[in-house]
Chains A and B, each alone.
Chain A
Amino acid sequence: MTRTIGRRDFIKTGAGAGLTLALGKALAGASSAAPLTKPSVVGVGIGEDYGKAAGKAIALAGGMKAFVPKGAKVALLANVQSRHPGTHTKPEVLRTVIGLCKKVGAQRIDCLSWQPVKQWEDTGLKAVCDAEGVGLRLFEKDETLFKPVPIPKGVALKEARILAAYFEYDRLINMPITKDHAGNKFTGSLKNLMGLNSPENNRTFHKPNWKTDPDDIAHLDQSIVDLNQVVKPSLNVVDATEFIVSNGPFGPGQIFTPQKVVVGTDRVAIDSYCASLWGLKPADIVQIKKASEQGLGLIDLDKVTLKEDYYY
Chain B
Amino acid sequence: MSEIRRWGPALALAAVLLAGAWTAPGREGQDTLRSLLPADGTIPGWSKDGDPQEFVGEDLYTYIDGGAEIYQEYGFRRVIVQDYNGAAGRSVSLELFEMATPAAAYGMYTFKRSGQGRIVPLGSGAELEDYYLNLWKGRFLATLTGFDATPPTIEGLLAVAAAVEKNLRDGAGVPGLVAALPGEGLKPQSVKYLRGLLGLNNVYPFYTARGLAFAEAVKGDYEDGASLIALDYGSAEARAKAWAELETSIKSGDRFKKTEVRGASLPLYLDGRGRYAAFVEAGSRLFVALGPVPEAVLGLAALAVR
Contact = CB atoms under 8 A, between A and B. Distances in A.
Given A81-B66, A85-B131, A211 B114 contact: no
A252 B145 contact: yes
A67 interface: no
Interface residues of A, number: 30
Interface string A197-236: 0010000001000011110010000000000000000000
Contact of A212 (B69, B129, B196): B196
B145 A84 contact: yes
A250 B64 contact: yes
A75 to B, nearest CB: 20
Interface string B192-218: 000011100110010111101100000
Interface in A225-253: 246-253
A254 B114 contact: yes
A44 to B, nearest CB: 25
B67 A213 contact: no
The residue in A83, A211, A217, A248 that gathers the most chain B C-beta atoms within 10 A of its C-beta is A211
Interface in B146-163: 147
Contacts of A255: 130-131
A249 B129 contact: no
A254 B207 CA distance: 24
- In this complex, which of A81, A185, A247 has the most chain B Cβ atoms within 10 angstroms of its Cβ? A247
Nearest to B69: A183
A1 interface: no
A96 interface: no
Contacts of A11: none
A149 B39 CA distance: 50
A137 interface: no
Nearest to B65: A81
Contacts of B132: 84, 251-252
A4 interface: no
A248 B213 CA distance: 24
Given A182-B202, A214-B208, A255-B130, A115 B65 contact: yes
A212 B209 contact: yes
A81 B132 CA distance: 18
A246 B114 contact: yes
A68 B61 CA distance: 35
The size bracket of the interface on B is: 20 to 34
B227 interface: no
Given A84-B145, A183-B66, A254 B131 contact: no
Given A212-B196, A214-B209, A254 B129 contact: yes
A263 to B, nearest CB: 24
A212 B73 CA distance: 11
Contacts of A217: 197, 209
Most buried by A among B65, B69, B111, B207: B65
B114 A251 contact: no
Interface centre among A84, A85, A252 (most CB of B within 10 A): A252
A67 B145 CA distance: 38
B209 A181 contact: no
Contacts of A181: 66-67
A284 interface: yes
B229 to A, nearest CB: 17
A194 interface: yes
B27 interface: no
Contacts of A187: 66
Nearest to A79: B66
B70 interface: yes
Given A81-B65, A84-B145, A217-B209, 19 more contacts: A83-B147, A85-B131, A182-B202, A183-B67, A185-B205, A211-B73, A212-B209, A214-B208, A246-B114, A247-B111, A249-B66, A250-B67, A252-B132, A252-B143, A252-B145, A254-B114, A254-B129, A254-B130, A255-B131
- Nearest 8 CB-CB pairings of A with B: A252-B132, A250-B67, A182-B70, A214-B209, A252-B145, A250-B64, A249-B67, A211-B197
Interface of A: 81-85, 115, 181-183, 185, 187, 194, 199, 206, 211-214, 217, 246-255, 284
